[in-house]
Chains A and B, each alone.
With several copies, the nearest count.
Chain A
């Protein structure tokens, strides 16, 4: 169990290289990309950053070495995702998604699917991944989950399936090369046992990208709509068994929530560091803000919330890989709630501590506020996740 308290030499090395990557590749570009996205959301996305990440092996690190990855565990990945979030939330999300989905693919794909989808993913330095569930009418519905079915339907036909419908808010989806798509294949059943998972590649006939969403923040990541129009999907693209797509998802990826939590925790750390820096340099009442007790205590409370959230996330990520040691299903729903609540509070305090300066774009605080707001809903609205966790609690 000590893994959850220690950073190993290897982890230190990985995080050090990620830190350098953030300083060299992300920080210099982030503000400009964020601003460019105001005119065109796709302008917020940077292929250069993805390629740079590929050069140091970050893009594929969760895959096994046999597939060309580093086989890093969930705990280490969570540390990396936090470090990325400290640099920029959007970048953290681009990779948290790709790293998580790649690992799911390796677990869920059969040999043939690995050859067709994972090998080319590894070879393409620009390839990122998407997982497609959310629909205009189905958000909390699938998280709780309620007894409803997806509106994107795939109907069995000779040698495959005909898919129709749409998804939206899907991270990376206008940029992704490969997709895991969940569709209703048994309309008579609720999602839990009437949904199948399909593997798709960009450009598949009948499968197109719609609007790229204009978001408040998290702009270095794109989210878009996806359309399926009489889209024929061959049987070979069915992932796992038909109709039980959701079960596989859960089993295959317990640490998804921890990664989301780590992304937003990174933003909390960035806010804390910015507030600390300002409090040390800004003079009011003849002394730096940090010498004013009220602000001093607030900075310590920020650190407390960060450390408690991180301890919780690390425990959840490690247990996701060692479930026999005491995995608890609520760890798949609550760490993000904890971290996003902490991040929002810390972002608010950071804004207050900066006074009027914090409201001016040049200070960089506005971007942090807009980013921090993302995870009040991303990966599940907090209230919804609390209800989901309640469903997991064995009463």
Chain B
């Protein structure tokens, strides 16, 4: 699938090393980790540490924090390559890479010293951003005028937080968290929320259930609880009640990287379908020689290449917004890629016939994974509505 990638020498080098990492560290472990019944057992520290050794874990940070300062386009290529190996692994790092960059942008020097410096030196440090709550899913994306139920009340020298978050990627393992809470109960999550920086183990801040998911199992998502949790003023990110302003900085990368993760799954489905179609004989010839299948395989490639072209354009323009950035690029690339991935996963399953339905084939894992981004990082329909809200008409 390299062909229509357009890459600099440096990008080729990075993506090649990521591919080696996937082949050596992820692929050999993925099926077994996916099969664990306890979701916590599906997570692998070995993979995180191996990623750290090649500098992947920190690559989006500036050199000061041990990074390569990779731009969004290159990072999107890396995340797709990871998704090609395993979706969960891609998500673990997509989250960490974008949150790290986000933290470097919005934290003050003192906060960076207390977080990014430690993040750099801890080979197991991964990151979480915490917004979703049981009652606030689309609300947070479409900015419906409702408040977060997780509330922090001002007190002497800091804030007392109570409430819960759920579905938070990495959160049972993360070392640092960017948490959005309602600090002005009379306002909505748009104009009355504050962003706080927290470290794992902070008093009053605990992990709840780890969610048991259909797929994307190599990544964990869990609940987080805040019980009379005191957060000092120094942990306020940006201005109090200005959480939305902080969140806006996070914006574009999230959707684009999500698109890259699921695109990787689409590529894996395509490659698996192609391999099967070349080897499986029915009607006296390989499936790939049957026109119907043949055209379908080409259509898979078309959907992948169109989605990738879109994601790359969005990623590059996110870093060069003066060159024609369009705010819908922060909502739609994931919708496009996840629709393509679901279509391709369905065809991959069909092409495999009964074999695809048997666990040993590995196809059913891809279908379970592909289903993740019909909702992850925003339900598609919700993202279409968000895009409509920012379209200039």
Contacts and interface: CB of A to CB of B under 8 A. Distances in A.
Direct contact of A and B (CB under 8 A): yes
B282 A294 contact: no
Contacts, number: 269
B213 interface: yes
A315 B375 contact: no
Nearest to A1: B6
B295 A359 contact: no
Interface stretch (B21-29, B242-250, B306-314): B306-314
B309 A300 contact: no
Interface residues of A, number: 96
Interface in A302-345: 303-305, 307-309, 311-312, 314-316, 319, 325-328, 330-331, 333-335, 337-338, 344
B283 A141 contact: yes
A214 B356 CA distance: 11
Nearest to B316: A5
Contacts of B388: 290, 296-297, 299-300
B332 interface: yes
B102 interface: no
B142 A387 contact: no
B317 A5 contact: yes
Chain B contact surface mostly: helix
Contacts of B384: 296-298, 300-301, 304
A377 interface: yes
Given A351-B375, A369-B371, A284 B323 contact: no
Contact of B359 (A35, A216, A328): A216
Interface in B142-199: 142, 144-146, 167
Given A6-B323, A373-B367, A386 B299 contact: yes
Contacts of A202: none
B298 A327 contact: no
A356 B167 contact: yes
A156 interface: no
Contact of B393 (A280, A337, A369): A280
B284 interface: yes
A36 to B, nearest CB: 10
Interface in A215-246: 215-218
B320 A5 contact: yes
B309 A315 contact: yes
A383 B301 CA distance: 14
A7 B298 contact: no
A299 B391 contact: yes
Chain A contact surface mostly: helix
A389 B302 contact: yes
B294 A381 contact: no
Nearest to A6: B323
A303 B356 CA distance: 29
A356 B214 CA distance: 11
Which of B291, B306, B382, B393 gathers the greatest number of chain A CB atoms within 10 Å?
A: B306
A358 B336 contact: no
Interchain residue pairs A-B with the least CB separation, the first 10: A328-B3, A216-B364, A366-B214, A311-B309, A386-B295, A297-B384, A308-B310, A312-B306, A300-B387, A389-B298
Given A6-B323, A335-B306, A373-B364, 11 more contacts: A140-B353, A215-B357, A216-B367, A304-B328, A308-B310, A311-B312, A359-B216, A386-B299, A390-B288, A393-B297, A395-B274
Interface of B: 2-8, 35, 37, 132, 135, 137-139, 142, 144-146, 167, 211-216, 274, 278, 281-284, 288, 291-299, 301-303, 305-307, 309-310, 312-313, 316-317, 320, 323-324, 326, 328-329, 331-332, 335-336, 342, 346, 349-350, 352-354, 356-360, 364, 367-368, 371-372, 374-376, 379-382, 384-385, 387-388, 391, 393
21 contacts: A38-B37, A169-B354, A213-B358, A214-B359, A284-B142, A285-B138, A285-B139, A297-B381, A300-B331, A300-B391, A314-B313, A326-B4, A351-B375, A356-B137, A360-B211, A365-B214, A376-B350, A381-B350, A382-B350, A387-B292, A390-B288
